[in-house]
Amino acid sequence: MHDPRALLDAETDAVRRLARRGYTLDVSALEDLLSRRNKTIQSVDEMRAESNQVAKQVPQVARAGGDATELKDRARQLKEEIRDREEEQERLNAELRELLLSVPNLPLDKAPDGDSDEFAVEVRRHGTPPAFPFEPKDHVSLGEAMGILDFGRATKLSGPRFSVARGAGAALERALATLFLDLHTRQHGYTEYSVPTLVTRETMTGTGQLPKFEEDLFKTRTGDRDLYLVPTAEVPLTNLHAGEIIDPAKLPLAFTAQTPCYRSEAGSYGRDTRGLIRLHQFAKVEMVRLCQPEDSQVQLAAMVEHAEACLAALDLAYRVVLLPAGDMGFSAQLTYDLEVWLPGQSRYREISSVSDCGTFQGRRANIRTRDADGKRRFVATLNGSGLPIGRTLAAVLEQHQRQDGSVVLPETLAHHTGFRVIQPDGTPQE
């Protein structure tokens, strides 16, 4: 959420930057709401001052033997007027908050222009996409042929866009999560957390999923209590320090967690309906960092490297791209995507987004620290996938497949699975 005065003080720049991501800031509506809210606050303050003065005059008049009837009537009138104005102030505050919560973060000028992945700028590539002497299969054909993935039974259980992993497939999922968490905690300096995956509306609002993206969330209701299933561990991890002031000496903070993630994928029907690419439920290891605002770009570069290390450890070919302003997430001011090569599709596909959110989420969740002069300020927050289990499993199967339908795992992963090869019938082999 933005400071409305900051948006208006930098009106031209804010309008320009928001337009780059396809958002039109209603400056007139913002100015009108802010003006009416401020006038109401001023009016309430003036009436309270008068009310206090009248309250002092009543006993003075009474002690002097005078008639305080008019003063008492005025006191009652002021009480009613203050109540009405306070109700008006609350209504205007709610309208202003609703408007501000709908305004996305301001993209940095470093983000290229454009509104889709076609405008992403390639930064670098790692590895060479494998060249097969046969027609490579996609992960669905491989996994179902080996019996380690079962989308039919998943559909029976829960409907479309769910998956079941079996035997070596389930072991592979577990091993991937362990590998990623080991890398992040032992080499990259993150503290591992186990966090709730049902969270409050306030928690979702803090990271920007609400109110704008409610239709893309799963929600459960028990009695009069609503809880949301997290779309990513970014939500609980970032909000761990909501409403707190963090000692600057402890920054940066680095958190990681593996959680199930739930997304309704509203508006995406017909896209990526086959396989593990776009599911309603999937597992993911997430990275989150909190830091001083001026350090966010350095932290962003480090997080991109940490996500890359996960792909490199699996001997996967991938590339890094800088997203255009119009294709970034709601809370991001700058985002790098990691795209892994999928032979079954003969293209790079997004496997991780790493975003610098500046102080956008810090302000929404009221997470603060202090600057060098001891003045309170909002922290910068960053988040990134490190990595999603399903999409990574798909890439491992496709890039490391052999002509006979088997898959040879990279050594780093075999260390965690206890086997190096998955035979065509799904049998693991050391």
> Do 104 and 115 meet the contact criterion of CB atoms below 8 Å apart?
no
The answer to whether residue 166 is catalytic is no
Catalytic residue among 353, 363, 364, 406: 353
Catalytic residue among 125, 350, 370, 377: 350
Q: Could you tell me which residues are annotated as the binding site for ATP?
A: 263-265, 350-353
Q: Could you tell me which residues are annotated as the binding site for L-serine?
A: 232-234, 263, 286, 383, 385
283-297: b or e for each residue (b if 16 or more CB lie within 10 Å)?
bbbbbbbbbbbeebb
Q: Could you tell me which residues are annotated as the binding site?
A: 232-234, 263-265, 286, 350-353, 383, 385
The CA distances from residue 404 to 149, 254, 407, in Å, are 18, 43, 9
Angle subtended by helix axes 389-399 and 139-146, to nearest 10: 90
The answer to whether residue 278 is catalytic is yes
- Residue 71 in tokens: 């003063």
Query: Residue 189: which of 263, 291, 100, 269 has the closest Cα?
Result: 291
Dist CA 412 CA 205 (whole Å): 39
> Do 337 and 350 meet the contact criterion of CB atoms below 8 Å apart?
yes
**Pairing between β-strand 198-199 and β-strand 281-291 as defined by DSSP bridges:** unpaired
Query: Residue 243: which of 200, 209, 190, 298 has the closest Cα?
Result: 200
Angle subtended by helix axes 389-399 and 168-182, to nearest 10: 110
Catalytic residue among 36, 125, 201, 278: 278
Catalytic residue among 85, 319, 364, 391: 391
The answer to whether residue 364 is catalytic is no
Dist CA 314 CA 11 (whole Å): 47
State CA 360 to chain mean position distance: 11
**Pairing between β-strand 225-229 and β-strand 368-370 as defined by DSSP bridges:** unpaired
> Do 189 and 409 meet the contact criterion of CB atoms below 8 Å apart?
no
Catalytic residue among 37, 263, 349, 364: 263
Dist CA 9 CA 88 (whole Å): 25
- Note if the bond before 133 is cis, omega within 30 degrees: no
The answer to whether residue 5 is catalytic is no
- Residue 403 in tokens: 């002509």
> Do 30 and 8 meet the contact criterion of CB atoms below 8 Å apart?
yes
Phi, psi (5° rounding) for residue 187? -115, -30
Query: Residue 360: which of 338, 337, 329 has the closest Cα?
Result: 329
The answer to whether residue 263 is catalytic is yes
Catalytic residues: 263, 278, 350, 353, 391
